[in-house]
Structure formats: C-alpha cells, structure tokens
Amino acid sequence: MWSRALRNNLKLNQIRGASTIVKGEPEAPVVKTDIPGPKSKQLLQELGSLQQAGTVQMFVNYDKSIGNYLVDADDNILLDTYTQISSLPLGYNHPELLKVFNDQHNMKCLINRPALGVFPGDDWPKRLNGILSEISPKLPNITTMMCGSCSNENAFKNIFITYQRKKRGENVEFTAEEKSSCVVNQPPGAPKLSIMSFKNAFHGRTLGSLSTTHSKYIHKIDIPSFDWPIATFPQYKYPLEENQRENEEQDKKCLAEVEELFEKYEKKGIPVAGIIVEPIQSEGGDNEASPQFFQQLQKIAKKNNAYLLIDEVQTGGGCTGKFWCHEHFNLETPPDIVTFSKKMQMGGYFHTAEMTPKQPSRVFNTWMGDPGKLIILETVIKVIKEQKLLENVLHTGTMLKIGLLELEKEFCYYVNSTRGRGTFLAINATDSNLRDEILTKLKAKGIQSGGCGTKSVRLRPALIFQEHHANIFLDKFRQVLKEIK
C-alpha cells in the first residue's frame, strides 16, 4: 500500500508533463556490447599500466553523453541513475553550462587560477556573497575548499580552533609553551580533543576525515587513526509507519550512547569538541534517522559545549527535494557547520561567525577552492530555480518511490526497505550477492546504478531526472527481478 503522504505528495506535484528538460536526449538506453566493451577494456589495460585502475567501470565519451544519458567508449548509451557518484546536478552537457565559458571574463577566471587565500580576483567577495544569499542554510559565512574530504578535514580544524578559543578566553594570547609544544605535536599547544562520528559513516579519505569514516575496511586498513568516539547510528525497520515504536527506541538508544561517549571521552582526557553526521548516511547504506533524532543530537551537542557539523557532501544540492537535506529536520538553530562538495562542483562549508578563526593562515591552502567551479555553480543554481528542479525532484522522487514499493510487494523475496527523500532513494536486496547481481544485470540493460552499504541499491540521478526516466528505470528493474525469479 502506498502511504497517504506519498499519494498527497503526488497530487501536489502533478506539475510536469513528459517533455524532456534537456533537448537532444536519447529516448531509451541502447546496449551494443558487453559493458565494459572492447574499447573500454583496451583503455583499461593502458590506464592500468600507469596506475591502480581497479575501480574503473568503463570509459566515457563526454562529447556524446547528454542529459541523463551517459555514452561509453563503445557507444553504449546508459540511463545514468548514479551520475558520477552523485555529483552531476544537471546531467551531461546541459546547454546552459556549455555557454558559461563563452564569456571572456569567465574564461579568464578559469585559466588564471588564483591562490584564493592571497590573491583573490576583484569579483570574488561579490561572487561568494551571491552564493551565500542564494543557497546558504541560514549560515552567514563560507569557506571554500577543493573536495568533500578536505572540506570536512578543514571544518574539524575550525571546530578545534573555536573550542580552544572559548576555553582560553576571547582575545587571550597563545602562551610561549603552547607555541613551542604545538610544533612538536605535544599538548598544551596540540591539545587532546576529538570529533564524535557514527558507525557506518563516510566523511572522506584524508587522514583526519578518515578517522570519522567507518563504512568499509578497505578505506582504512594500514592507516593510523585518532582515538575518537564512534556512536551507533539508528538502524530503522521498514516500512516506517509499521515500525514506529521500535524505530523510536533506536533513536533513544543511540542518543543515550552519544551522551555516554561525551562522558567517557571527557574522563579519558580527550573531550569531544564536535560531532560530524550525515543527514542520510550515504556510502554506509542510505541509513536514515528521524528529524527528532537530529533535533535531540543538536541539543546534546549544545549541552556539552560541542559543535554540530552536518556533512551534506552527498545529500546537498537539491536531490532530497530541499536544497539541504537537514532542512527537512526543523532544527532549533542552523548547525554550526554544513560541508558541501559533489553537486556543488566545489568543496567548502557554510558556518557561523563564531567558527571564523581570529588569526589568518590557520585554515588555508594554495587554491582554497576554484573560481571556475564557482562560476559553474552559479549557473547550476540559476537553472535549478528557473526550471523549478526541486519540484521536479519531488515529483520524480515520489513516482520512483511508489514504483520501488510496488516492486517490493511483487518481489518481496528479493527486495525490501525502500527509503529516502526526493530522488535520493535506496532499496535493499536480501544479501550482497543479490545486490551485486542486480547492479550487473541493470547495467547489461543500459542502466547505470550504484550500490551502498552491504546490500543496498542507491539512486542518485541528476535533478533533471523526470517521470519518463523513472519509468524506464523501474521497467528495467522489474525485468531484472523477473529474471532472478
């Protein structure tokens, strides 16, 4: 049975016909060879002789790819529901983006890449102000970075710097001992502090962010990690409406553990300065938690004088139907930091004024972002607004969710636990072998999709994914499940 909320949502969003947003898209996938095909295999051999290329699935023809369709080196045309690991907001070769660098000023910003922390272009403050006023989740400041991992990594530094400044007292100078001890990694200058994270979280692979990543051993093995607390993230049962009591118990148990870990790490002498959390744990299996969970988590952080960092690297940019997923949670105040990357094209974070270091050079690197990417982001935001793409996401997402729930009913021995917001959706297979088989079979039918966690299929289409694309995906998914049956 579809839930009442889904039906109402559908009625509210009867807004789009079947006409495609990006002109010139193919009407359906076309598979001509095995994937990877002979050309991709040959290129893989070439690349493999230069580097470890074991993660490469296929080579792509970026000239021919268009809209929601990726064209590979062997001319296979795939409907892309995974979009470069969830990072293409407008699909391939969107006409508005193709025009961006015809503008000579924009082109000069692209080729004269500045060291933004030292020699920003004379339009940089205006451009940042534009981004803040268009899409900031009610936070007044922005720091730009290169990628998701380094955004989290540098955001941790802002948290530690602010935590220590508060402890030391505003405007109190660093002591001589602090200055000399920090350069040899010793307290008091290099204090013992921690960031709390959650089991199954993914926050990146650089050294600091990796200490808060807990999704797969292959990301972490052989790499030293900080002794930082790791709390349990809720694991809900589906459908949510039928498991409310149990899921609420999950929230309570996990929040109690968060409180215990604050105490435990205070006693250990490694106090918790901040908490990092994804609004929906993505790489770790599309695990959701309720708005109430996040509201309570924020309260606990505040009570313990710790800061809340919401990692919107994967969930941000409109794919949940709101620009930021945490906007679904109705938090008392905005989080202290919200990190972004992927669909935003550039890494970085929005933050409170309190998080801004008082001294220069404390959070810094050569490029600190890329004006060329910010120029692309400006056009992405314009297109999202003009073409009402968040409404499109809600409409398509509702259709997709209804379709997945129907498949669950029909193939209950194979798939279950449909979940998510907007088009940021997932469904579980009964085990990881079956999940992998589903992904392989979908690809053979011209659907590029992705997995997450141990047994989930995740959907991460572009914001231009429409009802007719959803129907193709659902139809192929059904064929795959039938073949298994």
Ligand X SMILES: Cc1ncc(COP(=O)(O)O)c(C=O)c1O
* Binding residues for ligand X (CB under 6 A): 147-149, 152, 202-204, 278, 282-283, 311, 313-314, 341
Nearer to ligand X by Cβ, of 278 and 408: the residue is 278
Nearer to ligand X by Cβ, of 118 and 207: the residue is 207
Q: How far is the CB of 365 from ligand X (least distance, A)?
A: 14
Q: How far is the CB of 290 from ligand X (least distance, A)?
A: 19
154-178: buried (b, 16+ CB within 10 Å) or exposed (e) per residue?
Answer: bbbebbbbbbbbeeeeeeeeeeeeb
CA 23 and chain centroid, separation: 28
Q: How far is the CB of 152 from ligand X (least distance, A)?
A: 6
> What amino acid positions are annotated as catalytic residues?
202, 311, 342, 366
Can you list the pairs that 27-30 forms with residues at least 24 positions away whose Cβ atoms lie under 8 Å?
28/79, 28/446, 28/472, 29/69, 29/76, 29/77, 29/78, 29/79, 29/445, 29/446, 29/447, 29/472, 29/476, 30/76, 30/77, 30/446
Q: How far is the CB of 148 from ligand X (least distance, A)?
A: 2
CA 166 and chain centroid, separation: 31
Q: How far is the CB of 209 from ligand X (least distance, A)?
A: 7
Helix (H, G, I), strand (E, B) or coil at 110: helix
Q: How far is the CB of 111 from ligand X (least distance, A)?
A: 23
Nearer to ligand X by Cβ, of 67 and 279: the residue is 279
Helix (H, G, I), strand (E, B) or coil at 104: helix
The CB-nearest residue to ligand X is 148
Q: Where are the beta strands (DSSP E) in 269-401?
A: 272-277, 280-281, 287-288, 307-311, 337-340, 347-351
Nearer to ligand X by Cβ, of 191 and 335: the residue is 335
Q: How far is the CB of 38 from ligand X (least distance, A)?
A: 30
Sequence letter at residue 430: T
Nearer to ligand X by Cβ, of 25 and 80: the residue is 80
Q: Is 119 exposed, middle or buried (0-12, 13-18, 19+ CB in 10 A)?
A: exposed
Please, are residues 246 and 237 in contact by the beta-carbon 8 Å criterion? yes
Enter the DSSP assignment of 317.
Answer: S
Q: Identify the residue whose tokens are 């292959």.
A: 218
Q: Which two tokens stand for residue 10?
A: 């559908």
Helix (H, G, I), strand (E, B) or coil at 309: strand
Nearer to ligand X by Cβ, of 307 and 349: the residue is 349
Nearer to ligand X by Cβ, of 155 and 399: the residue is 155
Q: Identify the residue whose tokens are 């989080």.
A: 335
CA 62 and chain centroid, separation: 23
Sequence letter at residue 434: L
